[in-house]
Structure 1
């Protein structure tokens, strides 16, 4: 198998972007709140990222955690987010809308693609929550999506290898399949070789202690436990670098 793969790193905020690009990433998916699977970052964060980015980054457009069945108000907000990101000069957006029966919402996805152009458009792991991955992939192709991020409808890419391989074969160059799902230095080459994937995506995160000296023992923000209040989740540049090296061996 070719080791010429494109590596995208999922990060939270500007510091994560800088860590990923310094570690050799080809592209970044910029998010907020990775603990919820990634939400749309603020436009201040996006603007700051544009000022320091030396590699392309795509921005997730996801207004909340939970499912991918959005209200009309949520969808209109997504359209506005896409338009504003385009105006800022972002290279791409990452989107996903489903119908209540677990299929791609083609009307909404096509509308988001139309609003996004000429930006690149990726469908995120909403794809992994569809009832039929074969049908879903054809729907995304009809909508004009450039790539789909997927773990093969399993928690890990290792477990999702059969679906990932089948998706690559089904795509036949009409859409890029970007594999993800707990990829690391120990398994990324195995998944690459077993599937034929040419794009791979992962988040290499670690927890660091807060720098706060004063810690109020009586308050936890947002209902979190007090220990979590004084921990920060950051991108681990060394793990990014090691996993990229493994993917290109």
Structure 2
């Protein structure tokens, strides 16, 4: 059976995700820049009211995925702090100036996060070499890659997603996300072979997951 993660940008969305069948919340701030680290208070509030798995984004700012020494230190501090709040995992991704996976920095964060699992987020979608990036992310110790298949959305990235799922095998979970909705989820699951999918479930132009959309997505993954 496939599973569903919902990207949430505040407590209301997290509640909606939980109440309508999501398996996991990815908690972020600043939707307009693709997500950044939420505040300590936001994580506390969501954790106190959400019992499904809660993964937290670690991203100091929007923009590219090459970070300064100070930003990298901030990421480490956030992982340490959020581990104290009973979260279930972390979401981050660091590249180097050549748009390749920064193995040293990612590995350090993965080790710091242990025993909690880590997802490499959509920084993956700007790498220059898909095959080698997948192997590098695996070598860093990540459990999951969130990706649209290195295309603007999952519809355009279906072929690459299918290739990534096959190459990954049982070594890491490939989680399609980016433009995933109830209207295309069945096809994406069928054509890629993925077993975990990701969506914001926002269909009304707001920053809040739509309950009916979450329920429809959850229904599709249960049938996959």
Q: Which TM-score band applies after superposition, normalised by the shorter structure?
A: over 0.9
- RMSD, matched Cα: 1.1
The equivalent of 2:52 in structure 1 is 55
What SS is found at the alignment partner of 1:99?
Answer: coil
Q: Is the 8 A contact 2:18 2:52 kept in 1?
A: yes
The equivalent of 2:210 in structure 1 is 236
The equivalent of 2:31 in structure 1 is 34
- How far did 1:233 drift? 2.3
Q: Which runs of 5+ in 2 are unaligned?
A: none
How big is each residue's C-alpha offset from its partner over 1:36-81, in whole Å with a ceiling of 9 and x where there is no partner?
Answer: 1011110001011111112011000001000001001000100110
Q: Is the 8 A contact 1:185 1:247 kept in 2?
A: no
Equivalent pairs counted in the alignment come to: 223
TM-score (norm 2): 0.97
Q: Is the 8 A contact 2:3 2:221 kept in 1?
A: no
Q: Is the 8 A contact 1:189 1:248 kept in 2?
A: no
Distance 1:189 1:106 in 2: 34
Distance 1:138 1:164 in 2: 15
Q: Which runs of 5+ in 1 are unaligned?
A: 209-231
TM-score (norm 1): 0.87
Distance 1:160 1:173 in 2: 21
Q: Is the 8 A contact 1:206 1:233 kept in 2?
A: no
Higher RCO, 1 vs 2 (CA within 8 Å, ≥6 residues apart): 2
The equivalent of 1:64 in structure 2 is 61
Runs of 4+ deviating beyond 6 Å: none
Larger radius of gyration: 1
1:148 paired residue among 141, 145, 149: 145
